[in-house]
Protein backbone atom coordinates (compact mmCIF):
# COMPACT_ATOMS: atom_id res chain seq x y z
CA UNK A 1 0.00 0.00 0.00
CA UNK A 2 2.92 2.39 0.66
CA UNK A 3 4.10 2.48 -2.93
CA UNK A 4 0.55 2.57 -4.27
CA UNK A 5 -0.01 5.79 -2.35
CA UNK A 6 3.36 7.42 -3.01
CA UNK A 7 4.07 6.51 -6.66
CA UNK A 8 1.53 7.62 -9.26
CA UNK A 9 3.26 5.69 -12.05
CA UNK A 10 3.16 2.49 -10.02
CA UNK A 11 -0.49 3.12 -9.18
CA UNK A 12 -1.38 3.64 -12.83
CA UNK A 13 0.42 0.45 -13.82
CA UNK A 14 -1.05 -1.73 -11.07
CA UNK A 15 -4.65 -0.52 -11.15
CA UNK A 16 -5.81 -0.98 -14.72
CA UNK A 17 -9.39 -2.05 -15.20
CA UNK A 18 -12.29 -2.11 -17.62
CA UNK A 19 -16.03 -2.00 -17.07
CA UNK A 20 -16.20 -5.72 -17.89
CA UNK A 21 -13.97 -6.49 -14.86
CA UNK A 22 -16.81 -5.72 -12.47
CA UNK A 23 -17.36 -6.57 -9.74
CA UNK A 24 -13.76 -5.74 -8.85
CA UNK A 25 -12.22 -5.85 -5.37
CA UNK A 26 -8.92 -4.06 -4.67
CA UNK A 27 -6.53 -6.08 -2.48
CA UNK A 28 -3.97 -4.39 -0.21
CA UNK A 29 -1.44 -5.30 2.44
CA UNK A 30 0.38 -3.15 4.95
CA UNK A 31 0.74 -2.29 8.61
CA UNK A 32 -0.10 1.40 8.74
CA UNK A 33 -3.78 2.23 9.03
CA UNK A 34 -3.62 5.70 7.51
CA UNK A 35 -1.53 4.52 4.54
CA UNK A 36 -3.91 1.63 3.93
CA UNK A 37 -6.87 4.00 4.13
CA UNK A 38 -5.23 6.39 1.65
CA UNK A 39 -4.55 3.51 -0.75
CA UNK A 40 -8.11 2.25 -0.40
CA UNK A 41 -9.54 5.69 -1.09
CA UNK A 42 -7.46 5.98 -4.26
CA UNK A 43 -8.89 2.63 -5.41
CA UNK A 44 -12.48 3.40 -4.37
CA UNK A 45 -13.66 4.82 -7.71
CA UNK A 46 -12.59 1.66 -9.52
CA UNK A 47 -13.97 -1.14 -7.35
CA UNK A 48 -16.91 -2.35 -5.28
CA UNK A 49 -14.94 -3.28 -2.15
CA UNK A 50 -11.46 -3.23 -0.65
CA UNK A 51 -9.77 -6.35 0.72
CA UNK A 52 -7.13 -6.38 3.47
CA UNK A 53 -4.55 -9.17 3.38
CA UNK A 54 -4.15 -10.54 6.89
CA UNK A 55 -3.24 -14.06 5.78
CA UNK A 56 -0.07 -14.03 3.68
CA UNK A 57 2.53 -16.32 5.31
CA UNK A 58 5.42 -15.66 2.94
CA UNK A 59 8.89 -14.41 3.83
CA UNK A 60 8.16 -10.96 2.40
CA UNK A 61 5.19 -10.67 4.76
CA UNK A 62 7.41 -11.66 7.67
CA UNK A 63 10.07 -9.07 6.89
CA UNK A 64 7.48 -6.42 6.01
CA UNK A 65 5.25 -7.03 9.05
CA UNK A 66 2.10 -7.54 6.99
CA UNK A 67 -0.25 -10.41 6.11
CA UNK A 68 -0.29 -13.04 8.84
CA UNK A 69 2.65 -11.22 10.47
CA UNK A 70 0.89 -7.86 10.79
CA UNK A 71 2.31 -6.05 13.79
CA UNK A 72 3.82 -2.74 14.78
CA UNK A 73 7.22 -2.01 13.18
CA UNK A 74 9.95 -2.92 15.63
CA UNK A 75 7.79 -5.38 17.56
CA UNK A 76 10.01 -8.05 19.15
CA UNK A 77 7.69 -10.98 18.42
CA UNK A 78 6.67 -12.71 15.18
CA UNK A 79 3.14 -13.10 16.55
CA UNK A 80 0.34 -11.24 14.82
CA UNK A 81 -0.55 -8.22 16.97
CA UNK A 82 -4.31 -8.74 17.14
CA UNK A 83 -5.28 -5.45 18.87
CA UNK A 84 -3.13 -3.61 16.33
CA UNK A 85 -4.79 -5.50 13.46
CA UNK A 86 -8.24 -4.69 14.79
CA UNK A 87 -7.37 -1.00 15.04
CA UNK A 88 -6.29 -1.04 11.38
CA UNK A 89 -9.50 -2.77 10.30
CA UNK A 90 -11.61 -0.31 12.28
CA UNK A 91 -9.80 2.74 10.87
CA UNK A 92 -10.06 1.59 7.25
CA UNK A 93 -13.65 0.37 7.55
CA UNK A 94 -14.83 3.63 9.10
CA UNK A 95 -12.95 5.73 6.54
CA UNK A 96 -14.30 4.05 3.42
CA UNK A 97 -17.59 4.40 1.59
CA UNK A 98 -17.13 0.84 0.28
CA UNK A 99 -17.22 -2.43 2.25
CA UNK A 100 -13.95 -3.69 3.72
CA UNK A 101 -13.16 -7.40 3.29
CA UNK A 102 -10.44 -9.30 5.15
CA UNK A 103 -8.56 -12.54 4.54
CA UNK A 104 -7.00 -14.51 7.38
CA UNK A 105 -5.45 -17.84 8.29
CA UNK A 106 -6.33 -19.99 11.28
CA UNK A 107 -5.02 -19.21 14.73
CA UNK A 108 -3.36 -22.08 16.60
CA UNK A 109 -6.56 -22.90 18.50
CA UNK A 110 -10.10 -22.92 17.11
CA UNK A 111 -11.45 -20.84 20.00
CA UNK A 112 -8.82 -18.18 19.25
CA UNK A 113 -9.77 -18.22 15.56
CA UNK A 114 -13.46 -17.77 16.39
CA UNK A 115 -12.73 -14.95 18.82
CA UNK A 116 -10.54 -13.17 16.27
CA UNK A 117 -13.18 -13.54 13.56
CA UNK A 118 -15.89 -12.12 15.80
CA UNK A 119 -13.61 -9.19 16.64
CA UNK A 120 -12.95 -8.55 12.95
CA UNK A 121 -16.69 -8.49 12.30
CA UNK A 122 -17.20 -6.06 15.18
CA UNK A 123 -14.38 -3.85 13.87
CA UNK A 124 -16.12 -3.42 10.53
CA UNK A 125 -15.10 -6.33 8.33
CA UNK A 126 -18.00 -6.90 5.92
CA UNK A 127 -16.83 -10.22 4.41
CA UNK A 128 -14.21 -12.65 5.67
CA UNK A 129 -12.15 -15.12 3.63
CA UNK A 130 -10.61 -17.88 5.72
CA UNK A 131 -7.69 -19.95 4.52
CA UNK A 132 -8.09 -23.17 6.46
CA UNK A 133 -4.41 -23.59 7.31
CA UNK A 134 -2.18 -22.31 10.08
CA UNK A 135 0.40 -19.64 9.41
CA UNK A 136 3.43 -21.84 9.92
CA UNK A 137 6.76 -20.04 9.57
CA UNK A 138 8.30 -17.91 6.80
CA UNK A 139 10.11 -20.98 5.49
CA UNK A 140 7.45 -23.64 6.16
CA UNK A 141 3.97 -22.50 5.19
CA UNK A 142 1.92 -25.56 4.24
CA UNK A 143 1.39 -28.92 5.85
CA UNK A 144 -1.40 -31.22 4.76
CA UNK A 145 -4.93 -30.40 3.72
CA UNK A 146 -6.77 -27.28 4.80
CA UNK A 147 -9.00 -27.65 7.86
CA UNK A 148 -12.35 -26.92 6.26
CA UNK A 149 -14.14 -28.04 9.41
CA UNK A 150 -12.73 -24.95 11.10
CA UNK A 151 -13.91 -22.76 8.22
CA UNK A 152 -17.36 -24.25 8.80
CA UNK A 153 -17.14 -23.28 12.48
CA UNK A 154 -16.26 -19.71 11.51
CA UNK A 155 -19.23 -19.58 9.14
CA UNK A 156 -21.58 -20.71 11.91
CA UNK A 157 -20.17 -18.12 14.32
CA UNK A 158 -20.45 -15.00 12.14
CA UNK A 159 -23.24 -12.91 10.71
CA UNK A 160 -21.22 -11.67 7.72
CA UNK A 161 -20.48 -13.63 4.52
CA UNK A 162 -17.59 -16.10 4.76
CA UNK A 163 -15.46 -17.43 1.91
CA UNK A 164 -13.67 -20.77 2.17
CA UNK A 165 -10.09 -20.99 0.91
CA UNK A 166 -8.05 -24.19 0.59
CA UNK A 167 -8.30 -27.69 -0.89
CA UNK A 168 -9.57 -26.46 -4.26
CA UNK A 169 -7.87 -27.92 -7.32
CA UNK A 170 -10.82 -28.43 -9.66
CA UNK A 171 -14.53 -27.73 -10.11
CA UNK A 172 -15.61 -30.68 -7.98
CA UNK A 173 -13.48 -29.36 -5.12
CA UNK A 174 -15.30 -26.00 -5.32
CA UNK A 175 -18.64 -27.73 -4.75
CA UNK A 176 -17.19 -29.99 -2.06
CA UNK A 177 -15.82 -26.98 -0.15
CA UNK A 178 -19.19 -25.22 -0.30
CA UNK A 179 -20.96 -28.33 0.97
CA UNK A 180 -18.49 -29.04 3.78
CA UNK A 181 -18.20 -25.48 5.08
CA UNK A 182 -21.60 -23.97 4.34
CA UNK A 183 -19.64 -20.91 3.23
CA UNK A 184 -21.11 -18.20 1.05
CA UNK A 185 -18.42 -18.67 -1.58
CA UNK A 186 -15.02 -20.13 -2.37
CA UNK A 187 -11.71 -18.40 -2.98
CA UNK A 188 -9.11 -20.18 -5.09
CA UNK A 189 -5.57 -19.15 -5.98
CA UNK A 190 -3.63 -22.08 -7.42
CA UNK A 191 -6.75 -23.80 -8.74
CA UNK A 192 -7.82 -20.67 -10.62
CA UNK A 193 -4.32 -20.08 -11.94
CA UNK A 194 -4.19 -23.63 -13.27
CA UNK A 195 -7.72 -23.38 -14.68
CA UNK A 196 -9.10 -19.82 -15.00
CA UNK A 197 -12.50 -21.32 -15.89
CA UNK A 198 -12.70 -23.32 -12.64
CA UNK A 199 -15.72 -21.43 -11.29
CA UNK A 200 -17.59 -21.65 -14.58
CA UNK A 201 -16.94 -25.38 -14.59
CA UNK A 202 -18.20 -25.59 -11.01
CA UNK A 203 -21.45 -23.86 -11.97
CA UNK A 204 -21.89 -26.26 -14.91
CA UNK A 205 -21.15 -29.26 -12.68
CA UNK A 206 -23.68 -28.09 -10.11
CA UNK A 207 -26.34 -27.86 -12.81
CA UNK A 208 -25.52 -31.38 -13.99
CA UNK A 209 -25.96 -32.71 -10.47
CA UNK A 210 -29.44 -31.22 -9.95
Q: Tell me the H-state helices in 52-197.
A: 59-64, 82-95, 110-123, 148-157, 171-181, 190-194
Q: Tell me the H-state helices in the chain.
A: 2-6, 8-14, 33-43, 59-64, 82-95, 110-123, 148-157, 171-181, 190-194, 198-209
Cα dihedral 19→201→155→81 (10° resolution): -60
Which DSSP symbol is given to 140?
B
Whether residue 117 lies in the annotated active site:
no
CB neighbours (10 Å) of residue 24?
A: 15
Local structure of 201: helix, strand or coil: helix
* Catalytic member of 29, 47, 56, 117: 56
What is the distance between the alpha carbons of residues 209 and 165, in angstroms, rounded to a whole number?
Answer: 23
Q: Which residues are catalytic?
A: 56
Amino acid sequence: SDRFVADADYRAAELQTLAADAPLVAHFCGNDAETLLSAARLAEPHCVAVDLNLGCPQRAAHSGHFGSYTRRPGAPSDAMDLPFVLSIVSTVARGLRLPLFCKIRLQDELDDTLAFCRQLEAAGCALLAVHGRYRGSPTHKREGAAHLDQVAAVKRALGIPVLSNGNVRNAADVLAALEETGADGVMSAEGALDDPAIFGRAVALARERR
